[in-house]
Chain A
Amino acid sequence: MRQLCKGNVAVVKAALMAGCRSFYGYPITPASEIAEYAALLIPQAGGTFVQAESEVSAINMVYGASCAGQRVMTASSGPGISLMQEGISYLAGAELPCVIADIMRGGPGLGNISPEQSDYFCMTKGGGHGCYRNIVLAPSSVQEMAALTMLAFELADKYRNPAVLLADGYVGQMMEPLELEMTEAIQPAKPWAVRGTPETHGNLVSSIYLTNDLMEEHVRKLEAKYLECERSECRWETYRAEDAEVLVIGYGIVSRILRTAVDVARAHGLKAGLFRPITLWPFPSQALRQAAEKVEKVLVVELSTGQMVEDVRLALNGRIPVEFYSRVGGNVPSAEKIHSELMAHMEALV
């Protein structure tokens, strides 16, 4: 049965389905409903919810729970994510799985609480120190908030690495029908965990490697893991892209607007198509190259002054022109505006 559900609430429900019984967080708009519903639901399922004294503490509690072998998550937005970056680096360095939901708002600084997509860099490129990556998933609907939360737990465990649900404020705040089906959460054994039991008492979780060679060995091990992740985990979606002359590219709420814009453009005779990355890291570069093989131009649309567009340019490597359009500060473009942008760029081509 479908239930009308807020994106943020869907995250908590999906986390419970995935077997997550540990949530450590700190409130921030527009992510707060995740902590609120975690506080409401997780203890009723026998789990732990703690409101930490800061995002710094919250992410370190996540670190502790992950050390103990728990499926654990936290949620925040821009300023809170900045504070968590140290902990995220430690989690990646110590190869600890966890899920972090970032419901993006306007920045930099205190910014505002309206939707933006300006945490793309700090989440996909590693906002903390050291050579690491987060697995970054970008939902565009309430149903996907749930589906990708569950996938995030799976990938985090598979790669022993933080996985991020990167959504904008709109996807977090909107309500749509959500359909959940009861499934048994399959969790891998974690023989490396430190649980305070005789079986695990010899285990050590750490990210310190004092000698150069051991440090390099560790960083290379992480690198190999990330390469494997790039090979195996890219996800994307296309819409009317098969015969497209122009490809629009966007993720999250923007991809929904672009989908409508594609229909508007097609109704006006312009063969437009949509490419939507679902994994922002690993970025589906190869899939994008294939989708863009026959197009004359691509238009990237973001609620940032240009972050994902860099990955698009890297993927296409100068083969075709990459145009960019953005709104920031909480403003979102209309499908009609995107259509007029498209028309202008295509006319310029002629």
Chain B
Amino acid sequence: MNDYTVVHEKAPAFFDRFARKDENQHQTHYCPGCGHGVVHKMIADALTELGVQQRTILVSPVGCSVFAYYYFDTGNVQAAHGRAPAVATALKRSNPESIVISYQGDGDLAAIGTAEIVHAANRGENITVFFVNNSIYGMTGGQMAPTTLLGQISTTTPWGRRPNNDGMPIKMCEMLSALEAPAYIERVALSDAKHILQARKAVKKALELQTQHAGFSMVEILSPCPTILKMEPTVARHWVGEVLAKQFPLGVYRDHRAEFVPVDVPQKPLAELLGLGGEKLSDAERQSRRKNTQARTIKVAGFGGQGVLLLGQLLAEMGMREHMEVSWLPSYGPEMRSGSAHCHVTLAHERIGAPVITRPEVLIAMNEPSLRKFGPMVQVGGMILYNGRELPEDLQFEGTTVHCIPASQIADEIGAAKVANVVMLGAMLEATNCLPLATARTVLADMVKNPKLSEMNDRALDVGREYLDQDVLALAVAGPDGCGE
């Protein structure tokens, strides 16, 4: 028989002995009169009462409660300063049936971690946040917190917090309750027995809501820090109620479940998502199936919106289907959004080295600036296909075959300006014979599901090819330099 009567049992969610501590394993590291011990007890009791201790994960922050994991016999994760809500987000998403607690102080939550708490709340993450606000940095020895009161002296506000220099104490409950997603936000205080009882209820409610998948909940707990505030514990408690709570009014700021209409994502088998299937060919098999193809380095250039990158992709896709080695390299970035665009396409029979083409064999210039910029870089003996009726008067390219195809105009006549690139493709295939025209038709048919557009693409290919034939005839008459008339 014990010679004492147990009045309050240790909460089972606490370890019997704090073995993770270096010494004094029978007591916490918190100072006498500190609020953390009280909040820990409330949480531990609530976990037991709700029967969720075994599936709880506590995220310890940086600050005085950095060692919360010394005490809680739960799953424990230690997070970087301010990042606990982000860590908690992924813990919860990974195991939706777990109970995830983000335990944070005022510096952690309301200064360095402001972005994380706002966005976890705004996503309505189904986690519970306990925010211990004692108006001061405890662990680092008494520097200003975002919640330090005006005029309050700290080691970094030696004249007291000055609004003109340090801004105003930040009110997190008020801020977060402006969001639509949170389910429950309340501010309580550890100022006296009555308020501590209210705090207990709030702590339990916030956790219970999580078991009901209600969404984001946060309890801000105004808490005494007698050591740093240099007050007797009873005075500090009194100060919390009389002074701190004046700046941070107690009460329920939010208490309704977020009314999301969930949007489900269709599920697909992995093979379908990844585009797997079809036969795998060895290099030798590919080589033997490669017919009617010629290696080429090609540059396609023009205005953004002329389908320049797509034309390059069409060529690469065709080359791949014809069992060639191919690469497609775009210009990318802001220039994509307006201005010019170009891409490099290599069609090869061997493994491709540099996919960057400095001197292309073929240039498809969809506009005059591209012709001027890249025309001179075309290899001797190469070819330029220019989107225009004739070359600008001041331009000529020695040693290069030039074909002028008014592709934009032809495309307009066909009925869609956007098929100009396909007109050029038809002409290019006819001029180079590097890939079969039939493959172009198949690839286009696979990529374009709209029957009307598909028909126009087919016509564009034919017209481009026919125009080129006429151009070649004219060239034969006019000689190799410049465009035929």
Contacts and interface: CB of A to CB of B under 8 A. Distances in A.
Chain A binding surface SS class: mixed
Nearest to A91: B80
B445 to A, nearest CB: 16
B94 interface: yes
Contacts of B354: 256-257, 259-261, 334-335
Given A22-B94, A196-B98, A206 B89 contact: no
Interface stretch (A48-56, A116-124, A215-223, A309-317): A48-56
A114 B333 contact: yes
B111 interface: no
A27 to B, nearest CB: 13
Nearest to B93: A48
Interface in A8-62: 13, 16-17, 22, 24, 29-30, 41, 43-46, 48, 50, 52-54, 56-58, 60-62
A70 B90 CA distance: 10
Interface residues of B, number: 72
B349 to A, nearest CB: 14
B69 to A, nearest CB: 6
Given A87-B83, A201-B53, A196 B274 contact: no
A197 interface: yes
Contact of B74 (A65, A170, A201): A201
A1 B54 contact: no
Nearest to A274: B353
Interface string B34-54: 000000000000000000011
Contacts of A30: 332-333
Contacts of A56: 83, 86, 115-116
Contact of B89 (A64, A113, A253): A64
B94 A70 contact: yes
Contact of B54 (A94, A179, A182, A198): A198
A86 interface: yes
Contacts of A202: 73, 75
B332 A113 contact: yes
Given A87-B80, A196-B91, A208-B78, A44 B265 contact: yes
Contact of A63 (B57, B87, B276): B87
A64 B329 contact: no
A72 B90 CA distance: 10
Interface string B322-364: 0001111110111000000000000000001111101100000
A45 B270 contact: yes
B76 interface: yes
Contacts of A48: 90, 93-94
B320 A4 contact: yes
Contacts of B94: 22, 48, 64-65, 68-70, 195
A88 to B, nearest CB: 11
A196 B280 contact: no
A50 B94 CA distance: 12
Interface in A176-203: 176-177, 179-182, 194-198, 200-203
B79 A63 contact: yes
Nearest to B266: A44
Contacts of A43: 265
Contacts of B359: 334
A23 B60 CA distance: 23
B97 interface: yes
A147 interface: no
A63 B60 CA distance: 14
B277 interface: yes
Contact of B80 (A86, A174, A194, A336): A86
Contacts of A87: 80, 83
B270 A16 contact: yes
A271 to B, nearest CB: 17
19 contacts: A4-B313, A48-B90, A57-B86, A60-B83, A64-B89, A64-B90, A64-B91, A65-B90, A68-B91, A68-B95, A94-B78, A113-B334, A179-B280, A181-B280, A182-B276, A194-B57, A196-B56, A196-B97, A204-B20
Given A52-B119, A195-B98, A336-B358, 8 more contacts: A1-B280, A24-B90, A57-B83, A64-B90, A70-B90, A175-B328, A195-B95, A196-B95
Interface of A: 1-4, 13, 16-17, 22, 24, 29-30, 41, 43-46, 48, 50, 52-54, 56-58, 60-65, 67-70, 72, 86-87, 90, 94, 112-114, 169-170, 173-177, 179-182, 194-198, 200-208, 210-211, 253, 256-257, 259-261, 263, 332, 334-336
Interface of B: 20, 22, 53-57, 59-60, 66, 69, 73-80, 83, 86-91, 93-95, 97-100, 115-116, 118-119, 123, 265-268, 270-271, 273-280, 313, 316-317, 320, 325-330, 332-334, 352-356, 358-359
